[in-house]
Amino acid sequence: MKVAFQGEPGAYSEVAARHLFGPKCQVMPLPQFETVFKAVKNGKAQRAVIPIENSLAGSIHQNYDLLQQTGLNIISETHLRIEHVLMCGKTGSLKSIKEVLSHPQALSQCSDFINSKRSLSPIAFYDTAGAAKHIAQKSECSQAAIASIHAARLYKLKILKRNLENNHQNYTRFLGISRSAQSPKKGKLKTSISFAPAKNETGILFKMLGIFALRDVNLLKIESRPFPDRAFEYIFYLDLEGSPSDKPVKNALLHLQEIAAMVKVFGSYPIGKRTYIE
């Protein structure tokens, strides 16, 4: 099975792909989220893994928009613990490094460590694993990278320090996506949908969410994004417990369709578990 992800080999997304689709899946690193979705859409990859939210930084809005635009299906999820690791070439050391390269979000999440080293300058890079790859290709001992331990092992870099992140409750929720939907029968399930009100009127969102409350359907997350065809109106993304095969969820979705301009079901899938890089 070929699984696309955004980033360089060694990225957290690659780790998530192997958790979701097995350690022997054939991964396809791609430069942008758009190309990841396109690869699944045109059949070059059978699956893809995308980050959708981080427990500290929040949602990845671009991927919500791409889900809506492409109509691909969510079939699985995992919550990956993000452990940032400081790494360098074989001749480097904590005393020798002067610059640390990583994605801006990773640099921000490791700001306490970076600020504690007054001689260490953070350098923004396009990708955490890309920073590790860059360090591996240089003989410069004054530069280090912050990336996953998987990237350190892949590029044979020296690990200087683990668990650099300010907050160790740092998880990213990754989604497995596919062209075709799946209908899981077992376990605790989650369903992801999007909807838009037919018209903007007083209390409309309250009425739409109340459809689920009346049927005791538990809502897990709500997110709003601009409606492309209606200035300053919004599409709402909703995660809920259960699946459309459950009578309360089925009836709630039917009711929602009566008062919504659009309802789209992205898929039902087992609620993800916390996973770790070993």
How confident is the model over 195-235, as pLDDT tens digits? 999 888 899 999 999 999 999 999 999 999 998 878 888 99
At 272 the pLDDT is 94
Q: Which residues are paired to 8 by β-bridges?
A: none
> And the tokens for 159?
């690990």
At 42 the pLDDT is 96
At 223 the pLDDT is 94
At 75 the pLDDT is 97
Q: Which of 78, 128, 172, 191 is catalytic?
A: 172
Q: What is the pLDDT of residues 155-195, one digit of tens each?
A: 999 999 999 999 999 999 999 999 998 887 677 999 999 99
At 230 the pLDDT is 81
Q: Which conformational region is residue 68 in: left (phi greater than 0), alpha (psi within -120 to 50 degrees), or beta? A: alpha
Per-residue pLDDT, averaged over 97-119, amounts to 95
Per-residue pLDDT, averaged over 58-87, amounts to 96
pLDDT greater than 90 at residue 29? yes
Place of tokens 């668990």: 163
Q: How confident is the model at residue 3 (pLDDT cuts 50, 70, 90)?
A: very high
Nearest Cα neighbor of 186 from 271, 250, 249 is 271
The answer to whether residue 172 is catalytic is yes
Cα 183 from chain centroid?
22
> And the tokens for 82?
């993000």
Dist. CA 230–CA 264, nearest whole Å? 17
- Fold match flag (2-81+171-180 vs 189-270): no
In three-state form (DSSP H/G/I as H, E/B as E, the rest C), the secondary structure along 112-171 is HHHHHCCCCEEEECCCHHHHHHHHHCCCCCCEEEEECHHHHHHCCCEEEECCCCCCCCCE
> And the tokens for 56?
């500290």
At 200 the pLDDT is 84
Q: How many CB atoms lie within 10 A of CB 88?
A: 26
At 228 the pLDDT is 84
On the CB side of 182, CA atoms within 13 Å amount to 15
pLDDT greater than 90 at residue 252? yes
pLDDT greater than 80 at residue 140? no
Q: Where are the domains of the chain?
A: 2-81+171-180, 85-161, 189-270
* 8 A C-beta contact, residue 265 and residue 104: no
Q: Which residues are paired to 269 by β-bridges?
A: 190
Question: For the chain, how many residues are written?
Answer: 278
177 SS3 class: strand
Dist. CA 213–CA 218, nearest whole Å? 7
At 172 the pLDDT is 97
Dist. CA 278–CA 271, nearest whole Å? 22
**2-81+171-180 belongs to which homologous superfamily?**
Periplasmic binding protein-like II (3.40.190.10)
Dist. CA 237–CA 225, nearest whole Å? 8
User: CATH fold of 85-161, please?
Assistant: D-Maltodextrin-Binding Protein; domain 2 (3.40.190)
pLDDT greater than 90 at residue 83? yes
Q: Which of 174, 195, 236, 266 is catalytic?
A: 174
| Of 12 and 184, more confident | 12
Choices 3.40.190.10, 3.90.1150.10, 3.30.70.1230, 3.30.70.260: CATH for 189-270: 3.30.70.260
